[in-house]
């Protein structure tokens, strides 16, 4: 049976056209992938990197829902996001887990019908009317670090026989960019952290205080500050040595941190002085937190060796700034720190191991300082 040459040519042309269409589509995908890769590599901060994945890639992939799931056992990513942006770690589509479940940690992708029963099917917010999905593991140095999950209202968008070359390549690039971003943030943190206590230093505090003062204006919320000083710290160093003094500093740091919230900012201001910023906190509540810290330090001596403990006390000054006060952000920040420092001075002058604020200034010390000023003597 002979085949019509014209019909055969028509079939071949159709097959050729199909191949050319597929080649053009693949070329378009590669160009889009190349552009997106450059965009990922060009991001400068961790929030920017995450935002590119959640926003731009959702558009580029023509998908209805996307979630980035990351394992964050030490809350490192959360702290970086909280430090770098006003909204903290609350980014729609970002899910931070302390530990990956066994199913989350699987090293192969899932493509197919939308299955809400799969433990790895983590979406935020939960997608409506989706019919297919892909759950793509993110790997770094052979270990799972999370997953990139996408869902579509089209059943044919993600199918078991779909090629995953493009998206798996993207996942590998994102994993590398994520590690680079974290390393960059760690390097930055070295210059903003006190090496002895592991908390922020004065440089970071002054920048953060100004940022929080800006938030006071923008969101009309109060901001309080505590200045804390270990009582008679010089005597500790002179009597027991600087090694014991270092242990006392670390001991007090741990007690203070235990009484603070995750969004509070603790820093070592210098020597034996600490400063705590309390966002969204009024003076009364700040004084309650300060008193809790004072009592905790007073009740828990510092163990200096196997047989000896050293009783330590702390004095605290508390102040507040509101959006009603005049001045730019820098001025408000400086005024807040100065007011808390002034309250700390009054706490020291009135006997130490006390909490002092504008609401409970010691009358005797205030009167004494007023008299000194009136007589023209140097209060120092």
Q: Is residue 59 part of a domain?
A: yes
For residue 342, the enclosing domain spans 202-375
Residues 6 or more apart from 209 whose CB is under 8 A from it? 225, 277, 333, 336, 337
One domain, residues 118 and 231: no
Question: Is residue 284, in this structure, part of any structural domain at all?
Answer: yes
Contact yes or no for 276/226 (Cβ under 8 A): yes
Task: Mark which of 168, 190, 212 sits at the end of a domain.
Answer: 190
Task: Please choose, from the candidates 138, 156, 155, 160, the residue with its C-alpha nearest in 3D space to the C-alpha of residue 147.
Answer: 138
97 and 233 part of one domain:
no
Q: Are residues 345 and 216 in the same domain?
A: yes
Q: Are residues 178 and 215 in the same domain?
A: no
CATH of the domain at 264: 3.30.70.270
For the chain, the domain total comes to 2
Residues 288 and 170 in one domain: no
Instruction: List pLDDT tens digits, range 54-111.
Output: 887 777 777 889 999 999 998 888 888 877 765 556 788 999 998 887 665 567 888 9
Pair (71, 105) in one structural domain: yes
Residues 214, 180, single domain; the answer is: no
pTM of the model: 0.62
* Residues in contact with 213: Cβ distance below 8 Å, sequence separation at least 6, in sequence order: 223, 321, 329, 330, 332, 333, 336
Identify the domain boundary among 190, 225, 258.
Answer: 190
In-domain check, residue 283: yes
Strand pairing category for 309-310 and 302-303: antiparallel
For residue 226, CA distances in Å to 92, 340, 351, 367 come to 33, 6, 18, 23
Q: Which of 160, 190, 220 is the last residue of a domain?
A: 190
pLDDT in tens, 223-270: 999 999 999 999 999 999 999 999 999 999 999 999 998 889 999 999
170 and 32, same domain (yes or no): yes
Per-residue pLDDT of the chain (380 residues; tens, 9 = 90+): 556 777 777 777 777 777 776 667 666 666 766 776 787 788 878 888 898 888 877 777 778 899 999 999 988 888 888 777 655 567 889 999 988 876 655 678 889 999 988 888 888 888 888 999 999 899 888 888 999 999 999 998 888 887 777 778 878 888 888 888 888 888 877 888 999 999 999 999 998 999 899 888 888 889 999 999 999 999 999 999 999 999 999 999 999 999 998 889 999 999 999 999 999 999 999 999 999 999 999 999 999 888 889 999 999 999 999 877 777 889 999 999 999 999 999 999 999 999 999 888 876 655 555 545 555 655 44
């Amino acid at each position: 049976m002979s085949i019509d040459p014209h019909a055969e040519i028509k079939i071949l042309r159709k097959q050729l056209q199909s191949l050319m269409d597929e080649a053009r589509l693949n070329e378009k995908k590669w160009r889009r992938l190349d552009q997106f890769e450059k965009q990922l590599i060009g991001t400068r901060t961790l929030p920017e990197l995450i935002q590119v994945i959640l926003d731009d890639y959702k558009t580029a992939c023509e998908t209805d829902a996307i979630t980035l799931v990351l394992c964050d056992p030490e809350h490192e990513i959360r702290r970086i996001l909280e430090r770098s942006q006003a909204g903290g770690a609350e980014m729609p589509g970002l899910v931070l887990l302390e530990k990956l479940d066994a199913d989350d940690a699987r090293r192969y992708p899932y493509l197919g019908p939308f299955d809400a029963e799969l433990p790895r099917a983590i979406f935020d917010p939960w997608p409506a009317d989706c019919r297919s999905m892909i759950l793509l593991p993110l790997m770094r140095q052979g270990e799972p670090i999370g997953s990139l999950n996408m869902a579509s209202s089209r059943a044919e968008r993600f199918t078991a026989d779909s090629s995953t070359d493009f998206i798996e390549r993207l996942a590998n690039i994102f994993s590398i960019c994520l590690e680079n971003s974290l390393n960059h943030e760690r390097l930055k943190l070295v210059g903003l952290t006190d090496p002895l206590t592991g908390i922020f230093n004065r440089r970071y505090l002054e920048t953060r205080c100004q940022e929080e003062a800006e938030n006071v204006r923008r969101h009309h919320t109060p901001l309080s500050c505590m200045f804390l000083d270990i009582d008679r710290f010089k005597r500790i160093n002179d009597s027991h040595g600087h090694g014991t003094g270092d242990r006392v500093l670390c001991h007090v740091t741990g007690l203070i941190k235990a009484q603070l919230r995750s969004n509070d900012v603790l820093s070592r201001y210098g020597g034996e002085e600490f400063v705590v910023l309390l966002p969204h906190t009024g003076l009364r509540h700040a004084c309650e937190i300060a008193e809790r810290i004072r009592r905790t330090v007073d009740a828990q001596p510092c163990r200096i060796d196997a047989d000896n403990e050293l009783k330590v006390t702390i004095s605290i000054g508390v102040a507040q700034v509101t959006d009603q006060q005049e001045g730019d952000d820098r001025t408000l920040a400086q005024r807040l720190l100065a007011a808390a420092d002034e309250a700390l001075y009054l706490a020291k002058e009135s006997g130490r191991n006390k909490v002092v604020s504008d609401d409970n200034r010691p009358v005797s010390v205030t009167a004494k300082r007023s008299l000194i000023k009136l007589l023209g003597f140097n209060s120092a």
